[in-house]
Amino acid sequence: MSSSSSDGVDKAFEEFFDEEFDNIVDSLLDVQANKPKRRAYIERDREQGHIQLWNDYFHENPTYPPDMFRRRFRMNKPLFLRIVKRLSTSVPYFRQRRNAHGRKGLSPLQKCTAAIRMLAYGESGDTYDEYLRLGESTALLCLEHFTNGIIDFFGEEYLRRPTAEDLQQLLDIGEVRGFPGMIGSIDCMHWEWKNCPTAWRGQYTRGSGKPTIVLEAVASEDLWMWHAFFGLPGTLNDINVLDRSPVFDDIIQGRAPKVKFKVNNHTYRMAYYLTDGIYPNWSTFIQSIPLPQGNKAELFAKHQESTRKDVERAFGVLQSRFAIVKNPGLLWDKEKLGKIMRTCVILHNMIVENERGGYSLSDTSQFESGESSRSSKVKMRESLHLNNMLGMRNEVRDSGKHDSLKTDLVENVWQKFGNIDE
């Protein structure tokens, strides 16, 4: 082979390899260019955010007075500080830590304030970025840990079943209001779910409306919620929710205290709730009279409907206090929505307890002197055997006792308020 032909072959190989090398380099450059860029770090000066928050609300001489703190945080300052202290000592996420450079992170006040503001105003996570100096993802993480902490550390106390002492107080209040044996009002509330998954919309949407999730609650006169059952689809009405609700589980399983009260000289052993007309005629439910005939029936309907509004007022206060459950739910995760609702109910009860002395309730002083004038009593119930649960369930759903109790209550309301209204 001649030297000229050898040089030609070498040149061809060289050009081939150069072209392939250029193609590889170009492909690598394209991959590098299409890779997602790392998020740019924003220096928010979080220390300044804590100082501003401290001077505005928690300083010895704060910028804003207590009434403005109450309006913006939905609770008094001592209660909020109690929550912050418990979370910062029990939840590692709320402890202020230092990074590798020794710089302090976000303070517990900043994190708890971000969470409570999101609950109170129902706004997005980055709404308070300029003031509290934390990003949207951090604010959402604060909300998640805040709801978990409130449920874990305060749920057992502030979303509990009524104890024997609680039941006695509720019975005393019910008797003062003309309904011996009444321990609250029960009803349902719907929370719109804006980001309901498309596959679930038919299950959660009633008619041509929007998807909703149902909250069943029992409230007393002071707006304390003794029962909260959340998570069922909005297509279910109040009776369907009741069929799935654990509201009577303690009674049927024998864990609830025994109740005994007298109405119109007749003795009853099952406390009851005031309801609207959709609920069934059980011994544990008392509805109004749709078309009252006569003065006694009209007076009973008037007092029943006004007293039953306790649960409606509780729903209204809950939504006004925490706009996040009034506005459409923006999360995709139903479990997180349930934790938010449960947290709002717990905080609502904490605020009710904290401010209970600031407004007047029914005067039950007549029962404090002794039991001679008391027509309702509470004792601890002995545990039931399994074969007795069916009998207790039938007693809860006894329509005959419902009719006799309602008749006696009509007479009792007339005897107590008839002359006054006349």
Residues 305 and 168 in one domain: yes
Residues 153 and 168 in one domain: no
Residues 123 and 175 in one domain: no
For residues 290 and 33, the model is more confident at 290
Percent of the chain at pLDDT exceeding 90:
62
**Residue 374: pLDDT above 60?**
no
Tell me what pLDDT residue 86 has: 96
Structural domain including 56 reads 46-157
For residues 132 and 387, the model is more confident at 132
Within a domain: 15: no
**Residue 4: pLDDT above 60?**
no
Last residue of a domain, one of 157, 175, 199: 157
Tell me what pLDDT residue 373 has: 40
Return phi, psi of residue 368, to 5°. Answer: -85, -20
Tell me what pLDDT residue 393 has: 87
Q: Give the integer Cα–Cα distance in Å for 210 and 199.
A: 14
Residues 194 and 285 in one domain: yes
Residues 378 and 393 in one domain: yes
258-263, strands of its sheet edge to edge:
266-268, 258-263, 376-379
Residues 144 and 227 in one domain: no
Q: For residue 219, which of 211, 209, 227 has the smallest C-alpha distance?
A: 227
Return phi, psi of residue 96, to 5°. Answer: -80, 120
Last residue of a domain, one of 157, 189, 208: 157
270-293 confidence digits (pLDDT tens):
899 999 989 999 999 999 999 998
Residues 231 and 117 in one domain: no
Last residue of a domain, one of 122, 137, 157: 157
Residues 124 and 231 in one domain: no
Within a domain: 32: no
Within a domain: 33: no
* CB distance 80 to 112 below 8 Å: yes
Tell me what pLDDT residue 124 has: 86
Residues 298 and 402 in one domain: yes
Using CA atoms in the order 342, 348, 354, 358, what is the torsion angle rounded to 10 degrees? -160
Percent of the chain at pLDDT exceeding 70:
83
Q: Read out DSSP for 152-219?
A: HHHHHHHS----HHHHHHHHHHHHHTT-TTEEEEEEEEEEEBTT--GGGHHHH--TTS--EEEEEEEE
Q: How many structural domains compose the chain? A: 2
185-207 confidence digits (pLDDT tens):
999 999 999 999 999 999 999 88
**Residue 52: pLDDT above 90?**
yes
- Please give the DSSP secondary-structure letter assigned to residue 54: I
